[in-house]
Chains A and B, each alone.
Chain A
Amino acid sequence: MSFIEFTDVRKEFHSQRFGLSVAVANFTLALSKGEFFCLLGPSGCGKTTVLALLAGFDQPSSGTISLNDQVVVSSSRDRGVVFQGDDSLFPWLTARENVEFGLRMSGMNRKDRSEKAMYYLEMVNLSSQGNKYPTELSGGMKQRIQIARALANEPEMLLMDEPFGALDAQTREVMQQELLNIWQSTGTSVFFITHDIDESLALATRIGVMSAGPGGTLREVIEAPKADDKVRSHRDYIEKYDYIHAMIREEVARSRISASLEVT
């Protein structure tokens, strides 16, 4: 009995044009509480599908996902989600009101939720921008609002779908460090999706590498370097980088071959 358990999860999509397509197959994984798990894989391997299933936005075609031994059937406030793009923010609300949204839905009074929102805005270093609208803020700041908004609900875990993918390199590095600090201070479990090997090595406690799609599955789970060894010059870091890199290259090559076989 783990915190999160994926048991033989499979997700198929049916469409009139393309017929049946398998997004994820035979996906089995157990996560423990407080873990920072990175799911890594080439594009199109089904990473985002796995996150959508765990978030409860979609249901598996077969297999189960459970959280604290309860089968996940829908989205809920115990799993906060941070999306890649800023189109999930509510542009008619200020940064602070965005962060308050979940608290307002649960009926918390104005004063309490405002205090809580300020606390989390401070945590993401945005306390001075609380009264600005999302359109007035930079890409990195918008992602900070998303993180604060998810954290304000005090969820059991944070699901993040390439949250820093659209940011420039410097901002991304700052955001990664901040996220690590938040993870250490709150103890929230994190399920983080990325296609960037460096990002996964810098953040995760464990890294799951997916095989190439269609019908991607979990190929291997690797222990990430320890906190002190998360430097690009460290031997453990370099070895793991090379190992994962080779694995992903192999997957991409394999999917190209199978794609070309399908064509001919």
Chain B
Amino acid sequence: MNSNAPKTGAEANSWLGRPKSLRRNALHIGQFLGGFVSLFLTWHLVATYVVPSVLFPPPLNVLGKAVLLFQDGTLIENVWASLKRILLGFALGSLLGMPIGLAIGSFAIVGRILEPWTEFLRFIPSVAMITIAVIWFGIGEESKIFLIIYTTIFVVILNTAAGVSAIAPNKLRAARALGASSAQVFIFVAFPATVPYILTGMRLAMANSFVTIVAAELIASDVGLGRMLWNGRLYMLVDEIFVALVTLGLLGFSVDRIFRVLVKRLAGSYTT
């Protein structure tokens, strides 16, 4: 079989390839960090020299405030409150959305029955649902989790259903010719073939969750990053507002990175 030896990744990364790709990775990470530094540097320069005002604190002041809030526990308390709501609602929304999306994509009848639901509800933004959620569930955890589920579920459903319809027909045919029953085709082929689409849907839903949780906490809540922003406005604590904003950016960025790595890693082995 030497006549057509494969050019696998491992072979391409032989004695010459590997150090080169390592160096390239280090370079990419360096450029990326450089981008971050330039963001904060620009902020610093603008806040110090262009618009020096208490209403626009430079990054070092914000960092100082963040350390203080971290030490007295307020920052952690607020971050944890928001993150818990997001993770719980997001997990529930994804777990509900996945099987519904799989069913819509796999069975035409289910699709025709459920599509009016998803097509109607997905155009009512979760932010518009805040008032009714508070009336129904109060200002506690339930209303937030309801809103996060609401904002997650439709994106996951739509992406999962799209993923199912993108499966190569030959995969399903091959499975049937190998003796798989309809249920087995569903579990062992349709579901794994759809995983990259599900993850992409979840990644989009995660971004939506951040929007929704801040809006919901701004309007009705006693703790959370949204609450922190609202308090900042009430008492003119501009630096606290900035701490909350930067925290949101960093949290969202980290979660999205985790998803990107997951999607990339799985997409490699889950798609042809």
Closest A residue to B5 by CB, please name it. A138
Is B177's CB under 8 angstroms from A80's CB? yes
Verify A88–B179 contact, CB threshold 8 A.
no
Which residues of A have CB within 8 Å of B269?
91-92, 133, 135
B272 CB contact (under 8 Å) in A57, A135, A136, A141: A135
- Complex CA distance for A79 and B177, rounded to whole angstroms: 7
**Number of residue pairs across A and B with beta carbons under 8 Å?**
104
Q: When the two chains form their complex, are residues B1 and A125 in contact, meaning their CB atoms are under 8 A apart?
A: yes
Q: Give residues 105-153 of B contacting A (CB, 8 Å).
A: none
Which size bracket describes the interface of A in this complex?
35 or more
Say whether, besides A138-B7, A140-B4, A105 and B177 are in contact (CB < 8 Å).
no
A174 x B195 contact (CB < 8 A)? no
- Residue A262 CB within 8 A of the other chain: no
The interface residues of chain B, by DSSP majority, are classed as helix
Which listed residue, B4, B6, B174, touches A170 by the CB 8 Å rule?
A: B4
Q: Mark A85-112, 1 if CB is under 8 A from B, else 0.
A: 1111111100000000110111000000
A87 to chain B, nearest CB (A): 4
* Partner among A75, A126, A129, A153 whose Cβ is within 8 Å of the Cβ of B176: A75
Shortest Cβ distance from residue A55 to the other chain B in the assembled complex, whole angstroms: 6
The 0/1 profile, CB within 8 Å of B marked 1, for residues 156-199 of chain A is 00010000000010110010000000000000000000000000
* B267 nearest CB neighbor, chain A only: A91
For A126, the chain B residues whose CB sits under 8 A away are: 1
Which of the 9-residue segments B49-57, B165-173, B242-250 touches chain A?
B165-173
Residues of A contacting B3 in the complex (Cβ-Cβ under 8 angstroms): 170-171, 174
Q: Which of B174, B195, B271 has the most CB of A within 10 A?
A: B174
The residue of chain B having its C-beta at the shortest distance from the C-beta of A55 within the complex is B177
Q: B151 to nearest A CB, angstroms?
A: 29
Say which residue of B6, B10, B175 sits within 8 Å of A101 (CB atoms): B175
List of B residues within 8 angstroms of A133 by Cβ: 268-269
Inter-chain pairs besides A136-B9, A138-B7, 14 sampled, C-beta below 8 Å: A57-B177, A75-B177, A77-B177, A85-B170, A87-B272, A88-B170, A91-B272, A92-B269, A101-B178, A105-B184, A105-B188, A126-B1, A136-B6, A171-B3
| 8 pairs from A and B in contact (CB 8 Å cutoff) | A56-B177, A57-B177, A81-B173, A83-B174, A92-B195, A136-B8, A138-B6, A159-B177
Interface residues in chain A, defined as those with a beta carbon under 8 Å from any beta carbon in chain B: 55-57, 74-77, 79-81, 83, 85-92, 101-102, 104-106, 125-126, 129, 132-138, 140-141, 149-150, 153, 159, 168, 170-171, 174
